[in-house]
A and B are shown apart, each in its own frame.
Chain A
C-alpha cells in the first residue's frame, strides 16, 4: 500500500501544507520547504516508519517521490 496519504498527513501536521493544495508532484523547495527543513522532515518520516532513508535519496523534492522511496524501503524491509 502506498504511503502517500500518510506522508501527506505528516507534512500537513508538521508544516501546515494542505494535501488539497499541495500537488504531490510539485517541488517541495518551491513550496517553501528548504533543504534543511526537508532533512528535518525526513527524520520525522524515518521515525514514523522505523526506516532509514539512505543518501541516494537525498535529491527527493516532492511528496510523491518521497512516498515512492518509502514504499521501496518498506518493501525491502519486508522481504529481507
Chain B
C-alpha cells in the first residue's frame, strides 16, 4: 500500500505559510537571533511568531501551554491543506473519527508551564493549579484530538531529536496495517525558556557566537562548526493511503515510500555510523530504491563536531560510489533545531523540495569540512528538476535513528 502526504501544516520560525517558509529557506534567510540578554552566557534561538488568538479564546487558553497551542494550530493548517476540516463542526475528517489517529512527537512537553512553576515554587509563591496538565508531554496530541474530534489512536512519542520522525513513521505503519485511514502526524516543541536554555548551554552542544553574529552561528558541515541553535515550532503531515486520497479527490504532495528505524545501542549521546546506516538501509529497502535513486538528503546535521562527521560517514558507507550524486543540506542552520518537532518540519521541507524540484541550502559554510566529504547544496537554494526521491534524517540522543524517504507522486 502506498502512503501519501496529502497535507502539510506548520508553525515555524519562518512563519505558518508553507510556501513562504520554503521560499525564505531557499533564499538562505536565517530565523536565528539572540535571546534572553539577561543570561550570563549569550544565547541564540529561532522562535516562532504565533498569534494564539487565531485558534483560542482566552478561556480556552487556561492550562494550555505554548507547545500545545502551536500543535493545535499546525495540525489545523495541515488538515486545511489536505482539504479536510473539523469533525466536531460536521465537516469531514476524510474518515470515521475512530479511523483517524494523531501521532505526535514531543521531546519535553510544556516547558513554559514547568519553568513558571519552578520559579514560583522556589520563591515560595503560588504554583498554577493547571501546571501538570499544561506540562504533560502528551498534552499536544490530546489537544489536537479534542479540537478535531479524533477518536482513534492518539499517541505521543518522546524520542528526543527523532520524536516527530518516529511519530510519522509509526503513523505510516498504522495506515499500512489497515488500523486507520487518516493520520495527523508530526511534532511540537516549545522550550525556549531560560531554565531550558541554560541546561542546553551546560550540555556544551550549542553554537558559540560573537555579539551580533547569532543569525549565522549554526554552520552544519563547515570546518569551523561549533554546534546547533535551539528552535521552536510545530509541524504536521496528513497521511493516508494513495487509494483513500484518490477516492476523496485529494491532491498528494509526495509518497512516503520508506521509513527506517534503528537503535545504536552503544552510547546515550555519542552517535554511531553503523546504527545510522541500518536506518538508512531499512528505508531504502522498504521503498525498493537503490542509493543512486535518491537525489537529496535533508541531513540531521546538528553542526556538532562529531555529529556531522558520523552522519557523513554513515551516508558515505551506505551510498558508496553513488555518494557524489546525493545532494545534502541541513536546514537547521536557518530554522534551528526543533528537537522533538524537528523531524516533522524537516520532513515537510523535504516534501516541498521534492514537489517543487528545488533544494534548500546548506547555509553558513565558511569552508566545507573535507573530512565529511559530502556534496553540499550551496548557500542559497538550487534547482533540481530531475529529483525523484528525497529523504530526511533524524538521529536522537538515546541512539534511535529515523529515516523518512519520500518519492514523487
Contacts and interface: CB of A to CB of B under 8 A. Distances in A.
A48 B57 CA distance: 23
Main secondary structure on chain B at its contact with chain A? loop
Best-surrounded residue of A14, A39, A40, A43 (most CB of chain B within 10 A): A40
Contact of A33 (B59, B128, B129, B133): B59
A17 B59 contact: yes
Interface in A1-58: 14-17, 32-33, 36-37, 39-40, 43, 47
A69 B126 CA distance: 21
A32 B59 contact: yes
Interface of B: 57-60, 62-63, 126, 128-130, 133
A18 B88 CA distance: 25
B58 A37 contact: no
B155 to A, nearest CB: 24
Interface of A, helix, strand, loop or mixed by DSSP: helix
Nearest to A15: B59
A15 B57 CA distance: 8
B59 A36 contact: no
B129 A43 contact: yes
The range of chain A's interface size is 10 to 19
Contacts of A47: 126
B397 to A, nearest CB: 33
B8 to A, nearest CB: 31
10 contacts: A14-B58, A15-B59, A15-B62, A16-B57, A16-B59, A17-B59, A36-B129, A36-B133, A43-B129, A47-B126
B260 to A, nearest CB: 42
A18 to B, nearest CB: 11
Contacts of B57: 15-16
Contacts of B133: 36
Contacts of A36: 62-63, 129-130, 133
A23 B211 CA distance: 55
Contacts of B128: 40, 43
Contacts of A33: 59, 62
Contacts of A43: 126, 128-129
B51 to A, nearest CB: 15
